Chains A and B, each alone.
Chain A
Amino acid sequence: MRFWPLSLLLVAAPALAQSADENGSDGYTPTEDSIADAVRVNGYVDVGYAKATGDGTSYPANDTRSPADYAVDPFATAVNSRGDVAALDPTRFTNGFLPRTVSIGGNPSFLLNTLSAELRFAPKTLPLFVFARVQLMPRFSATAGDATRVELQQAFGRFNPFSSQEFTVSVGKFDSVFGIEYLETEANLRLGITPSLIARYTTGQSLGLKAFYRLELPAIWSGLSLNAAATNNGTRVESLVPVDASLTGGPVGTARLGYELNLTGFQFKLGGSALYGARNDQVSRGAKQRAFGADARVEFKGLHLAGELVSLHDDESPVAAKYTGQGPTELASAFDVTGGWVRLGWSLPFTFHALTAVTPYARWDRRHGQFQGFIPLDTDRFTFGLQLQLYESVLLKAEYLWNRELHGAPQVDNDVFTSSLVMTW
């Protein structure tokens, strides 16, 4: 438990000493003007309209196996960029493998998906960047009434101790470093609307310590980067795993090694990721989580091709208790999943007055998951969508999700049409 403050001191001390030296005094007190210059407030509002087929869940009516979330993929009916699903069935016994939900069932409904506000502090005279993002998610719950949540999604300080190197150290709650899908978690950054079938494993925010280093190789128009983190929780989304406390006392290590080639009109990026550490949804350090991933992106003449693969294993916990961001459940079973996605987008080469960009896209997701002793589930999803950019700060998106249960999970009517208007300030 004493490790974290110690680490903070060790990491922060050189940076603070450097800034104090630059200021020519023992301490540093920015003036009010410089503070005003350094502070920016950004954010967005994401308003959606969605309709799922069936009852909005992935549960077949007659399936009475327990837990219900082990026998189907409850994440299939996503309606927004947070991965919230159209509905869950609170009457069924489940064991913490659940997304958040907007509770609209099979009804078409307007949704205020997210109100997001960001505060940035980037003083010109310090090698320091401070960032916080707070999000408000108005929700309805049939059992609890108002289920609106406020989430401090990110809050971190980032230090750049060497002005000559692209090397940063971040402490706090920050984005994942695994794969590439975390780069567009936010609705105003995502090409489409809904996350992939594997996003739940790779795009969660983490609390801990992160280091990033990029080495430019100008002679071959290339760059190498290493992003590594030691965190409480790893990279799963908060609905699956607690972020704000380490339940085992041991950090989870995550890293991505990336290569990029930047030519005029052509860009290619390749990465490999790994994760290892104790599962943070239970209390035993002996129950590990481990994951490997690979990702690639190509951009050429307005075409954007991207894809990602991930393979993850969870050990069974020897202690009968499981904890998630949505509360305690019963047992932390062993779990294996492999999956991936590939997406093609095309930014059409025309604009028209307020319409500043038009991008149709399609994505194919595939997931093979199995909880210990349960039937392995093979599912896939085709997503077809269109993004319109209006002015520079408004995105209008619409997409259709065609979910298929290929093996294991009973076939169920769980496709989704969803749309989103994202207004950024």
Chain B
Amino acid sequence: MRRALALAWLAVPVLVACAPEPEASKFWRASQLRQMRAETADQTFGWELDWFYAADGERLTWTNDTATRDSLVVNPAFEDGKPAAFVLTELWYQWPNPWDQPVYEMVKPLDDPTTDGGFVHDGNDPVFGVGIDSTFYSPFWHVEWTQEPPSAQSDPYRGTREILDDALPLTDGPSVLCPLVEAGLELGHPDGAPPYHPFTGRPLRQRGTARGWVDHHEADYFDAHGNSYSASAAGRVTEGKLYRFVDSSDEPEDAIPLALPPVLPHLSQGVSLFREYHVTLPPDAVVFDMPGAATPDLEPDLKMPRPPVDLNIDAGVGNAYRGRVALNGGPCFTDAGSFPQGCTWLDSTTAVEAALPSSAIVKTDILVTLPTLLVGDSEP
């Protein structure tokens, strides 16, 4: 009997070890991506890690500049046929779409003469409802405006419990994108100059971190105000489509995208959460790059034909087209007179969907948070 029982127990680990382990899901917060970058990892799930972060002293991707402090890297993209710029703060793989969470912002009383009838911050830091370590953390927050009563027990407020216990009046505010990050992070920029679009050189407004609180613990956040999102009634954040190009010789689902600027959907600053789609390029697709541009060429090992370019193309126009993909071998590249209208460009989601069969566009299991910094001449 004892031997039989012992045999049965011994059988357990053997049989358990034979069963396949399911594929893991992943959620990288900003700080984790930064850590991976520090550990010299090159990429994760097809995203170059030097698109996310540059540590103090590291080269800023797409440029010749060196980061003067730990920075979010400004990346080029295209939206509605216009040059755009963005940073990346979170990445999910095989993860359900995140939920938004409340953030409580203290405002002055509406009868305060300085408010002009609107909600004006009273100077206190916001209080976030959920910490960054939670599996349900997301950088998407719905603002609850609230006012500190004159006889407030908890002054200043630092935690959700006190706000709810004191029954502070709550008014629904906007939906905002505020990734929780380490204090002091800013947009990558050259020493003594503001951040800028790496291809067009257009200066960008600097954005940094500000202080908030989660349950009495400091929680700094990246100020991506101007970027927003939409969510279901239950708070599930709605995703937009982010198109990344892959080589025609790769399997689209598993391909590592080409290191080209992605294509953002219309009004991307109102989306902020994007699902990555892989767009398989036809063999005759080419990428435009300006010879002699002030910033480095596109990735040297880019598996993509870059045909010769007419040197008479206006630099200002040409720089705005760097990194764009054209079909049919880019016939306008060699003729300044027909540039850029003489080419079929894949520089907007509608252009991609019109020019390529739907089978060339494949949904992936990757989600990213992507605050938009610039579209054309507009800064959200």
Contacts and interface: CB of A to CB of B under 8 A. Distances in A.
A154 interface: no
Given A285-B16, A375-B215, A410-B161, A65 B25 contact: no
B159 interface: yes
A249 B16 CA distance: 6
Nearest to B217: A375
Interface stretch (A36-44, A140-148, A366-374, A390-398): A366-374
Interface stretch (B55-63, B134-142, B349-357): B134-142
A66 B130 CA distance: 8
A320 B95 contact: yes
A217 interface: no
Contact of B135 (A2, A283, A373, A411): A373
Contacts of B160: 63, 65, 71, 375, 410
A409 B161 contact: yes
Contact of B22 (A1, A13, A319, A334): A319
B25 A316 contact: no
Contacts of A286: 21
B1 interface: yes
A375 B101 CA distance: 14
A65 B144 CA distance: 12
A283 B22 contact: yes
Contact of A10 (B8, B99, B102, B159): B8
A176 B222 CA distance: 49
Given A64-B129, A66-B99, A330-B96, A284 B134 contact: no
Contact of A375 (B8, B16, B19, B159): B159
Interface in B149-184: 159-161, 164-165, 167, 170
B12 A230 contact: yes
B131 interface: yes
B12 A67 contact: no
Q: How large is the interface on A (under 10, 10 to 19, 20 to 34, 35 or more residues)?
A: 35 or more
B234 interface: yes
A331 B136 contact: yes
A13 B4 CA distance: 9
Interface string B352-379: 0000000000000000000000000000
Contacts of B193: none
Contacts of B111: none
B331 interface: no
Contacts of A330: 96
A1 to B, nearest CB: 7
A408 B131 CA distance: 13
Interface string A51-95: 000000000101111110011000000000000000000000101
The secondary structure that dominates the B interface is loop
Interface in B99-129: 99-102, 129
B223 to A, nearest CB: 22
Interface in A310-334: 316, 318-320, 330-331, 333-334
Contact of A93 (B11, B99, B161): B99
Contacts, number: 129
Contacts of A70: 134, 136
A7 interface: yes
B133 interface: yes
B350 to A, nearest CB: 32
A242 interface: no
A250 B15 CA distance: 8
A3 interface: yes
B136 A249 contact: no
A408 B215 CA distance: 8
Contacts of A10: 4-5, 7-8
Given A64-B129, A65-B130, A375-B160, A318 B8 contact: no
A65 B101 contact: yes
B94 interface: yes
A161 interface: yes
A282 B16 CA distance: 15
Contacts of B161: 375, 407-411
Interface of A: 1-3, 6-7, 10-11, 13-14, 60, 62-67, 70-71, 93, 95, 161, 209, 211, 230, 248-251, 283-286, 316, 318-320, 330-331, 333-334, 371-375, 407-411
Given A7-B8, A230-B12, A320-B25, 8 more contacts: A2-B15, A13-B4, A14-B1, A60-B164, A319-B23, A330-B96, A331-B96, A408-B161
15 contacts: A64-B102, A64-B144, A64-B235, A65-B160, A66-B99, A249-B16, A251-B16, A284-B22, A285-B19, A316-B135, A319-B22, A333-B134, A375-B160, A410-B161, A411-B161
